[in-house]
Structure 1
Amino acid sequence: MAHNAPIIVGVDGSPSSNEAVRWAALEASRQHAPLLLILTDLIPLGYVPGNGFYQTEIDNQAIAGRATLAEAKVLAEATVGTVDVQTEFVTGSAIQTLLDRSKDARMLVVGSRGLGAFRSSLLGSVSTALAMHAHCPVAVIRDARVSATPDAGSVVVGIDGSATSVHAIGIAFDQASKRGVELVAVHAWMDTSQFALEGADWQIAEDTEAAVFSESLAGWHDQYPDVGVRRVLVKDRPVRQLLEESATAQLLVVGSHGRGGFAGMLLGSTSRSLLHTAECPIIVARVPM
């Protein structure tokens, strides 16, 4: 990743998008990174080059899109006046555009659902696709709590010993350090439906998981001596425990898939479920491809 790699925000003018812009502006300030706001619009169905009607439609889309971007830039600068904000209007697919740009981005930031999402939808198609396929970490921002109390609460990270979990730990320590808050490291290692198996030696299992937990956190304190860590090691469903710990957190960080996933897996069941249910902003740590 280049030193001046931007934080990129997918913009569409929705309330969720506006919260993403505010959150990303604060993050860009913490990271001393440029902020790039991108809005995309599809070519009208049936477009043929040279057709005046469709060209007028494209021109109108561009005017509206640039106006929305200008409003988003004002919002970002009002949130953090010192951040370097650039805007870009692109004709094409939002998902493909943002996936392409993620190869050179520090982070992608999107609202949980945009203008095209159903009112009852918990997660939009763009945020889902980016969490599954992006080449950089993806932050998904919901409507609640971001503007009111952006710096309230701890940073929570889910740990399971997998490669993506290691990446999540690094992001979480960096976030906790820059925000000046406690890091809550959570390792929930067993589904509660399996607790009653006869003859199971839970002490051996617990000792094994405790070793995985300790190894995962080893060395991080030396890199981030300013970060206090509260460790949570429990026999519980990961989703339930992470939701409980993140209920009062300002940020949740998880790997894209855990050690139960297989090679090439795009998004694990825990991260997928948390994307749909966590109320605080969530970063899905994707290992660069």
Structure 2
Amino acid sequence: MSNHASGPPIVAGVDGSMSALHAVRWAAAEAARRSVPLRLVHVQPPVGTGTPDLGQQWLSDADFLARRTAPAVRPDSCVRLGDPATELLAESRTARLIVAGARGAGGFSGLALGSVALALATGGHCPAVIVRGRPTQSGPVVVGVCGTPRCQAVLDHAFDQAESRAEPLLAVHAWHPLPADADIAAAMGIAWTEVEAEQHDLLTEWLSAGVRRRPGVHVTRVIAAARPARALLGHSRFAQLVVVGCRGRSPLTGLVLGSVPRALLHHAPCPVLVVRDGHCR
């Protein structure tokens, strides 16, 4: 950690995969930006099924990469024994953020999203950042805005991320109008442009609290007549980070991700910050 780091740490999972190294790179830059501790965690399988020396080497490589990415950061390294998803979920109880690669070294090559990343996104006790490719240090922060009560926590994180990076915030409100919607509007004498203007006014209202709290953040409002997942994936191609909400665990069915975060976690080329219900700034 840096000399002035304090508060809950950013935790990055380390498993020797390239995806995990990208996650370490992102976590180190975030820790330096926030002046908070960085914790690198490798989860070792039960005794007799793993190679402890290899795990230590992976941690050493991750430590070197973190210090090269952010020289002021002095990571704390830790080996935990057990199931990776279970142990990293335990780490998330005391973390500011938990960061992981989209697919670990032990995953199936055909899967775009690994089981550990899925577990952290749906069950983490703090927000989770899932990193696919090598993260960039430029570009806007993109956030999906839907106007539901749970969206406020998502917006709080998105404004915070944009402000800390001195980057613009691209707020995307997408809805998928049916052909019948245009027919109904026409029958009522309402121009479709009026419907779009109403959606823009709603988006402005939903963003108003964040704009008041963080007036230095430049906000671009985007109204997209498309499915939310498609709209956000399109903007993610040029983004530094996408922030999205997630319902989290259901007491009846277990893991619940939702179609929009699922699409982003499987296909977005940039890191995705997942904010579950109950995650507050």
**How high is the TM-score relative to the length of structure 2?**
0.87
Map Cα deviations across residues 174-229 of structure 1 (whole Å, 9 max, x no partner): 1111111111000002x25x234574337586566444422220121222121111
- For 1:272, the equivalent position in structure 2 comes to 262
Residue number in structure 2 paired with 1:23: 26
Query: 1:82 & 1:200 partners in 2: Cα distance?
Result: 60
Q: Which amino acid aligns with 2:165?
A: R
- The whole-number CA distance in structure 1 between the counterparts of 2:62 and 2:159 is 29
**Range with bigger deviation, 168-177 or 249-258:** 249-258
- Contact 1:135–1:287 (Cα < 8 Å) also in 2: no
1:157 aligns with 143
1:108 aligns with 2:119: no
Q: How far apart, CA to CA, are the structure 2 residues paired with 1:264 and 1:206? A: 37
When structure 1 is superposed on structure 2, of 195-204 and 119-128 the one drifting more is 195-204
Q: How many angstroms apart in 2 are the aligned matches of 1:113 and 1:257?
A: 22
Identity %: 39
What's 1:195 paired with? Answer: 179
Aligned to 1:84: 74
Residue among 33, 54, 65 paired with 2:55: 65
1:111–1:141 Cα contact (<8 Å) kept: yes
Mapped partners of 1:239, 1:97: distance in 2: 31
SS of the residue aligned with 2:150? helix
The equivalent residue for 2:223 is 233
| CA separation of 1:265 and 1:75: change in aligned 2, threshold 3 A | closer
User: Do residues 14 (structure 1) and 17 (structure 2) align?
Assistant: yes
Q: Could you tell me how far apart the structure 2 residues matched to 1:102 and 1:74 are?
A: 23
- In structure 1, which of residues 246, 250, 253 is the aligned counterpart of residue 243 of structure 2? 253
Q: Specify whether residues 269 and 8 from structure 1 end up closer, same or farther in structure 2 by C-alpha distance, changes over 3 A only.
A: same
* Structure 1 unpaired stretches of 5+: 45-53
1:222 aligns with 2:212: yes
- Which runs of 5 or more residues in structure 2 are unaligned? 1-5
Matched-pair contact (CA < 8 Å) for 2:247–2:257: yes
The aligned counterpart of 1:50 is none
2:121 to 131, 138, 162: 131
Q: CA deviation at 1:240?
A: 1.1
Give the superposition deviation at 1:281: 0.8
The CA distance in 2 between the partners of 1:111 and 1:165, in whole Å, is 25
Distance 2:256 2:93 in 1: 16
Asked if residue 167 in structure 1 is aligned to residue 153 in structure 2, the reply is yes
- Report the alpha carbon displacement of residue 161 of structure 1 after superposing the two structures with TM: 1.3
**1:48 equivalent in structure 2:** none
8 Å CA contact retained: 1:40, 1:91:
yes
Alpha carbons of structure 1 residues 130 and 246: separation in structure 2 relative to 1, 3 Å: same
Matched AA of 2:65: L
CA contact (8 A) 1:185 1:230 kept: yes
Is this contact kept in 2: 1:160–1:212, CA < 8 A? Answer: no
CA distance in 2, matches of 1:263, 1:91: 28
2:143 is paired with a residue whose SS is: strand
Task: Note if contact 2:247-2:277 (Cα within 8 Å) is conserved in structure 1.
Answer: no
Question: For residues 124 and 67 of structure 2, what CA distance do their matches in structure 1 show?
Answer: 26
Match of 1:38 in 2: 41
Q: CA deviation at 1:277?
A: 1.0
* CA RMSD between the two structures: 2.4
Rounded to whole Å, the distance in 1 between the matches of 2:215 and 2:182 is 43
